[in-house]
Amino acid sequence: MSPARITTKQATIPEKAVLDLRVTQPMLARIAELHRRYNKGQPNGQRAMLWRCALAELDFQGMDFSYADFVSCDFSDSDLRNACFRGATILSAKFDKADLTNADFEKTDLRGTTFDKANLTGTRMSGADLRIGRVLNKVVELNTSTADETQGSSFRGAILNRTRLNQSKLKHADFSGAVMRHTSLEGADIRAARFQGAEMVGTELKGAFMAEADFRGASMQDIDLQDLALGHARMAVTLALSEAELGSRLQEHSRWITTGGKEGAQFDFYALDLSGRDLSGANMAASNLTLAVFTDTKLCKANLAAARLCGANLLRADLSHADLRGADFTDAQLRHANLTGAKIGELPGTGLVTQGLSITN
């Protein structure tokens, strides 16, 4: 495999750029007013150009920064509701835990930007560029490889309800654990994007480029996958078994556990979609549940001791009074899961302890 091609371009810091400043609310108001005048061609205006500035926990509500420059700036925990950044250049920025409800980022250059745990409800991002990119001092480094490029913009745990990402460039983007109700990805480039643990309800994927996109572990509801260009997209596998057949498989797995593998057969649940099933009291100890989907699944009093649930999606699953001792929940999604009375901790005689999960009994 050939190494990644890296292209760089010199990005000379503008003479009037604001550098390395902790911006206060009064400063922000002044910068916004000068930028408004600049965009309208009024006297004494000045384009907003901020490099490496701290903008966390500020109020941007309704402000218009169309065509502004924000390079390596931190917007974490800020309130950007109804703000406009249309056509702006926002490279390698952080919007983690920010509220971007109904904000406008259409045709904005957002390469290398993160939105982890941000609220993007109703945000407009049509035509935005969210590919990989980072800034090193005065050099903007853009990765244009198709072989070794593995990191794009991050939306881990973000709320993307009704967010418009039409025609956006989202190659290698990470949507792990994101809530995507009626999000539009129509015509977007989501090649090699990751949706592990995402909650996708009514998400529009028409015309999207999805080669190598990974939907394993995602909860997908009310999404028509027919006629989509799935390419080599990786999907969770819906288990085509009747309740009786599933019960028989589980009984065989239980025998395999109780006889130490001498009888029965181990059931491999890897990347299976068991959403909505009633598995109450089922014995799935020591089973492989990696990337499995259990949305709205009943697992009350189930035996999941020593099970591997890495990356599994347990959205709204009922795990009350289940045996989770020694189970591995690394990177699992348990949003709104019921863990009342569940057993966690060390599994006697094995040295295994519950990982990736902490509850108070």
Q: How far apart are CA 166 and CA 124, in angstroms?
A: 9
Per-domain residue ranges for the chain?
1-10+75-235, 237-361
CATH class entry, domain 1-10+75-235: mainly beta
If the chain, 361 residues long, is cut into consecutive pieces of 10 residues, what is the mean pLDDT of each piece?
Answer: 40 79 98 97 96 97 97 97 97 95 96 94 94 61 46 89 94 94 95 94 93 92 79 76 87 93 91 93 95 96 96 96 97 95 95 84 40
Instruction: For residue range 184-232, list pLDDT tens digits in order.
Output: 999 999 999 999 999 999 999 999 999 899 999 999 999 887 767 776 7
- Kindly state the percentage of the chain with pLDDT values over 70: 89
Give pLDDT, residue 315: 95
At 245 the three-state DSSP class reads helix
Q: How far apart are CA 87 and CA 16, in angstroms?
A: 20
Give pLDDT, residue 307: 96
Q: How far apart are CA 162 and CA 143, in angstroms?
A: 30
CB 350, CB 332: distance < 8 Å: no
Give pLDDT, residue 359: 60
Give pLDDT, residue 324: 97
**Given CA atoms 125, 131, 136, 139 in this order, what sign does their dihedral have?**
negative
Give pLDDT, residue 3: 40
CB 180, CB 199: distance < 8 Å: yes
Q: Which residue type is seen at 246? A: L
Give pLDDT, residue 95: 97
Give pLDDT, residue 117: 95
Closest of 295, 283, 288, 284 to residue 337, by C-alpha? 295
CB 317, CB 336: distance < 8 Å: no
Q: How far apart are CA 203 and CA 149, in angstroms?
A: 26
For residue 230 the two structure tokens come to 């799935």
For domain 237-361, say whether CATH 3.40.250.10 is its number: no
State the DSSP H helix or E strand holding residue 221, giving kind and residue range, or none if neither: strand 219-221
Give pLDDT, residue 2: 38
Same fold across 1-10+75-235 and 237-361: yes
Cα–chain center distance at 309:
18
Closest of 199, 157, 207 to residue 181, by C-alpha? 199
